[in-house]
Amino acid sequence: MPHLRRWSRSDAADLADALHADPDLGRQLGGDADDLAEYIAAHLTPADSRAPFALVLDGRVVGNVAVTAIDPRHDTGWVSYWLAPVARGRGLASAGLTAVAAWAFTAGLFRLELGHRVNNPASCRVATAAGFAVEGLERAKLRYGDERFDVETHARLAMDPEPVTEPLPIR
């Protein structure tokens, strides 16, 4: 059964497979991915300002849903998510995002924000299915290589209605 759990250094091979299957993921993740076990330890483990969760399907990590930039003063966080191509189109990202949002609200956050490139309508569907309302457009916000991308922003508040998307279990 698909579920979320904390990352482990032993997930490096699964992360390598995801990066190999979709080179665009590597550009989005940033950082040095030469040693993926170290990358996991440095970027995909919980810390004061981040809470990443590995999305597991059939015993393999196929994605990530995270709350980062956690600001306890304002009770806010920035949400991100990605899936390897093998796991896309099944509603897993929306279910994972719904679960992590519920976790974050239970942990005391009030506002969760996210942004997606406007040329990625699938990411928009994930956000809206998980109850994130569209808030605006940030022109040319992201740069990957020499190319700039507009970003549509979304947010969900703790007091917003629950989405109809069933959350994945967090183990």
| Domain ranges, ordered by start, for the chain | 3-157
Domain 3-157 CATH (choose: 3.40.50.150, 3.30.360.10, 3.90.1010.10, 3.40.630.30): 3.40.630.30
Q: Is the pLDDT of residue 156 over 60?
A: yes
CA 154, CA 147: separation in Å to the nearest integer?
A: 22
Per-residue pLDDT, 23? 83
53-110, pLDDT tens digit by residue?
999 999 999 999 999 999 999 999 999 999 999 999 999 999 999 999 999 999 999 9
Residue 146's Cβ-count burial label (10 Å; 0-12, 13-18, 19+) is exposed
CB 123 within 8 A of CB 116: yes
Per-residue pLDDT, 27? 74
Report pTM: 0.94
Per-residue pLDDT, 31? 52
2-40, pLDDT tens digit by residue?
999 999 999 999 999 999 999 888 777 765 556 899 999
CA 136, CA 64: separation in Å to the nearest integer?
A: 24
